[in-house]
A and B are shown apart, each in its own frame.
Chain A
Amino acid sequence: MTTATSAADRAAAPTRRPATMAQALNQALRDALTADPAVHVMGEDVGTLGGVFRITDGLTRDFGEDRCTDTPLAEAGILGAAVGMAMYGLRPVVEMQFDAFAYPAFEQLVSHVSRMRNRTRGALPMPITVRIPYGGGIGGVEHHSDSSEAYYLHTPGLHVVTPATVEDAYGLLRAAIASDDPVIFLEPKRLYWSKADWSPQEPSTVPPIGRAVVRRPGRTATLITYGPSLPVCLEAAEAATEEGWDLGVVDLRSLVPFDEETVAEAVRGTGRAVVVHESSGFGGAGAEIAARITERCFHHLEAPVLRVAGFDIPYPPPMLERHHLPGVDRILDAVGRLQWEER
């Protein structure tokens, strides 16, 4: 068996060089397959092709067809089979090819994956990771750009995790696969090719699932976001300095469990908060987050919590998607509406 990083490589001093999120995810799958024989990767085109985004590149070659398996084209069947494999004691890692292609698996997810532990009083836990490339901004045609997180986070029994950085992509995917609970692992597909200095020899300490992180401290308002909107928020925070605003940015990393402590502490420090995500605002993650901030931080708030989200419309065709996706200007407009005293 050969892997991308041989033992000799690993013995050498780690060197950090530019790596993409896609590479980090691939390395996480490799390391999980190496570490635990119960781990099985499966999905459409994940074998010879290496997945349409190449996240599983080389895994079948290096670990064999039984460990990284091209399945028939049927998402309910893939996830349903994963349930049975988990019942046997395996640890399936399922790839759904695109966000909107995961919907046929919804019944298996909601009626079985999320409930099996509860139904059987813990006799049949479901250590299944469902990897789903999600979100827009890549010029995809219809059904290739959905932000589907709200469907999942409303389902008790599922963890919902989404990385926004190269390091987190590795660490959170390892944590998701190691988790004894089912994890919906949402991969922001437009960040697949984002780069950071990273070393596969020392990939990162694994952040526990359920911990948010302050990506940028700030004193005047807090942007709360996750996944594909993190870079947009960081850009907005940078631009805001010109307006005299010192914006903090919190990256949730995990929607379920939700790290209320980190969010509340950040918002208490600023008294103003804007939640930013790509998916439609109505009934979305931002609604839940805004409600919880209001419940916990009401006396610290100087303004209502605002949301910057995608419009409540079906995902637009690619030539119009830039009007739908929250951008720097829309975020700064929202920050401007946070009831600032006359300056």
Chain B
Amino acid sequence: MTVLDTPAWRPRADAAPLLPDPEPYRLLGTPAAADLDPALLGLLYGQLVRGRRYNVQATALTKQGRLAVYPSSTGQEACEIAAALALRPRDWLFPSYRDTLAVVARGVDPVEALTLLRGDWHTGYDSREHRVAPLSTPLATQLPHAVGLAHAARLSGDPVAALAMVGDGGTSEGDFHEALNFAAVWKAPVVFLVQNNGFAISVPLAKQTAAPTFAHKAVGYGMPGRLVDGNDVAAVHEVLTEAVERARDGGGPTLVEAVTYRIDAHTNADDATRYREESEVAAWRAHDPVELLERELTARGLLDDAARQRALDDAEAMAADLRERMHAEPQLDPMELFEHVYADLTPQLREQAAQLRAEMAAERQS
């Protein structure tokens, strides 16, 4: 045996097939769009219109004091909707804090999806029932969870895939690296969706990475990278669906970079005029995910004024319901603070619960 015969010497995979396309993949407005299923496009359109309205309504709720904060995904609705719709019922979604919309599109009650941001409980929906992990605030930390869940499913012979969402800023975290490495080594059925929206709060892409694209990072881990126009909902949906199916069929993980733009500030508490030009925002407004699909549908005769109005009315009804229910004061039981720390209360927590109960009783009497 010489070094040439040892496993360490030779490359372990051919890099070329893993490389992303040189330009973001697009469908809408291209000849390939003619093959798209009208029913799917109709479904995506209805969800996009609802999604846009949801972002507007949630932002309004922050101004009315009903939400502590809202990180808007306005401009990124195509990614949010496509991510949710690429999954089957038994698959799992692992969202970041900007992905409330994907959580809602997955079927979670819009009010339950907002409890984190309203502040009445951290996670308001049943993660196990909906197969949606809690919205993750610490950046990229949800990615290894997705890998572990997908790995566990694969070990159990269970055809379940996980889709994990992260932003461009999150790719700089160590957990991003560790998750992708584990996923590739374990061939875990997981898809990583990087929404490259141009900014990590105020820090632009150039200060975040020197990689050719985020999709190129896949090659270093030994998984395919896909680059897609993140505002083209048909393209994102197709790329994610293919990746999820491939994962479920034992093909291993995929890294998808969706190029998009954060139209709103980081949150309602942020002032984006301090770090970016309005001309850039205007350029992206002209590449709006809802309008891109509208143009396609209209050109193909799949959307008339009546259908558009139906979609808007449906979104308005959702927003009105959300508004009304969010204006109701949440019913809180402070004693619940102690209930879910451990399976059973420790002696010390029993004492502290008794203390709080007494304090509340005294408060009621005064």
A231 to chain B, nearest CB (A): 28
Question: In the complex, what residues of B have CB within 8 A of residue A210's CB?
Answer: 346-347
B213 interfacial by beta-carbon distance below 8 Å: no
**Does B182 make an interface contact (CB < 8 A)?**
yes
Asked if residues B144 and A108 are in contact (CB atoms below 8 Å), the reply is: yes
CB distance from A268 to the nearest CB of B (A): 17
Given contacts A112-B141, A121-B340, contact A81 B126 (CB under 8 A): no
Given contacts A72-B181, A257-B347, whether A84 and B341 have CB atoms under 8 Å apart is: no
Q: Which residues of B contact A112 (CB under 8 A)?
A: 138, 141, 145
Contacts of B152 in A (CB 8 A): 84-85, 87-90
Known: A80-B145, A84-B149, A121-B340. A258 touches B348 (CB 8 A): yes
Q: Which of B134, B144, B343 has the most CB of A within 10 A?
A: B144
Q: Quick check: A85 and B149 within 8 Å, CB to CB?
A: yes
Enumerate chain B residues within 8 angstroms of A86, measured Cβ to Cβ: 148
Q: Tell me how many residue pairs across A and B have CB atoms closer than 8 Å.
A: 141
Contact B134 A84 (CB under 8 A): no
Within 8 A of B (CB), among A240-278: 256-261
**Which secondary structure dominates chain B's binding surface?**
helix
Number of A residues whose C-beta is below 8 Å from B?
49
Answer whether residue B210 sits at the interface, using C-beta atoms and an 8 A cutoff.
no
Which partner residue on chain B sits nearest A119 by CB separation? B122
The answer to whether the Cβ of B153 comes within 8 Å of any Cβ in the partner chain is: yes
Closest CB of chain B to A118's CB: distance in Å? 4
CB distance from B275 to the nearest CB of A (A): 27
Q: Does B174 contact A (CB under 8 A)?
A: yes
A52-95 CB contacts (< 8 Å) to partner B: 66, 71-72, 74, 76-77, 79-90, 92
**A257 and B348 contacting across the interface, CB-CB below 8 Å:** yes
Contact with B along A85-123 (1 / 0, CB 8 A): 111111010000000000010011001100111111111
| A197 neighbours in B (Cβ, 8 Å) | none
Q: Which single member of A83, A124, A258 contacts B127 (CB below 8 Å)?
A: A124
A313 to chain B, nearest CB (A): 29
Known: A81-B148, A88-B149. A181 touches B182 (CB 8 A): no
Contacts of A92 in B (CB 8 A): 148
- Are A87's CB and B145's CB within 8 A? yes
Tell me the complex Cα distance, A90–B150, Å.
12
Among the listed A66, A76, A77, A156, which residue makes an inter-chain contact with B155, where contact means beta carbons less than 8 Å apart?
Answer: A66
Q: Name A residues whose Cβ lies closer than 8 Å to a Cβ of B.
A: 40, 66, 71-72, 74, 76-77, 79-90, 92, 104, 107-108, 111-112, 115-125, 156-157, 159, 179-181, 210, 256-261
**The 10 residue pairs across chains A and B that have the minimum distance between CB atoms:** A84-B148, A80-B144, A77-B178, A81-B148, A88-B152, A84-B149, A84-B145, A257-B346, A119-B122, A85-B152
What are 25 A-B pairs with beta-carbon distances under 8 A?
A: A72-B178, A77-B144, A77-B182, A80-B175, A81-B144, A81-B145, A81-B148, A81-B151, A83-B145, A84-B144, A84-B145, A84-B146, A84-B147, A84-B148, A85-B151, A87-B92, A88-B156, A89-B152, A111-B138, A117-B342, A119-B122, A120-B126, A121-B340, A123-B128, A123-B129
